[in-house]
C-alpha cells in the first residue's frame, strides 16, 4: 500500500520557482514522490525496510530528505511537501497544464 503523503506529493501539480519554491519549484519533491509511488523496492530502500511506516513517519522522512524544517509546517512562505492554493493554467491551444 502506498502511503497517502506519497500519493499527495506525487500527484500534485508542479509549481514554479520563486521565493517560496526556489528556482526549480517543487519538481524535485514531485519527481521523488512519483518514483517512490511506482516502486515498492525503492520505498523499502527509502524507508530503510520499514514498509509499515505510518503517514506521519513518511512525512518526517520526506521532510528530512528535502531539508524541510518542522518550524516550516503550515508556513506557506516556505517549502512544503504538498503545495496548495496554486493557480493552475491550461494552454488554450493544447489544453495541457502550463
3-state helix, strand, coil in the chain (%, to 5): 40, 5, 55
The full set of domain ranges for the chain reads: 4-72
Region 64-75: mean pLDDT is: 85
Cell of 18: 520563486
Tell me the per-residue pLDDT of 14-61, one tens digit each, with 9 for 90 and over: 776 655 555 567 888 999 999 999 998 898 888 876 666 788 888 888
User: How many angstroms from the chain centroid is the CA of residue 30?
Assistant: 5
CB 50 within 8 A of CB 39: no
Q: Within its chain, how far is the Cα of 6 from the centroid?
A: 7
Kindly report the pTM of this predicted structure.
Answer: 0.73
The DSSP call for residue 97 is B
For the stretch 4-15, pLDDT in tens is 999 999 998 877
Query: Which DSSP helix (H) or strand (E) runs through 56?
Result: helix 55-66
Q: What is the pLDDT of residue 51?
A: 60
Structural contact between residues 38 and 46, judged by C-beta atoms closer than 8 angstroms: no
Amino acid at each position: 500500500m502506498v502511503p497517502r503523503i506519497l500519493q499527495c506529493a506525487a500527484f500534485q501539480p508542479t509549481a514554479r520557482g520563486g521565493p517560496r519554491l526556489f528556482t526549480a519549484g517543487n519538481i524535485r519533491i514531485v519527481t521523488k514522490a512519483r518514483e517512490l509511488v511506482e516502486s515498492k523496492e525503492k520505498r523499502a530502500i527509502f524507508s530503510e525496510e520499514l514498509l509499515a511506516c505510518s503517514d506521519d513517519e513518511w512525512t518526517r522522512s520526506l521532510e528530512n530528505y528535502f531539508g524541510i524544517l518542522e518550524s516550516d509546517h503550515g508556513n506557506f512562505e516556505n517549502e512544503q511537501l504538498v503545495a496548495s492554493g496554486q493557480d493552475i493554467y491550461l494552454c488554450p491551444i493544447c489544453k495541457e497544464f502550463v
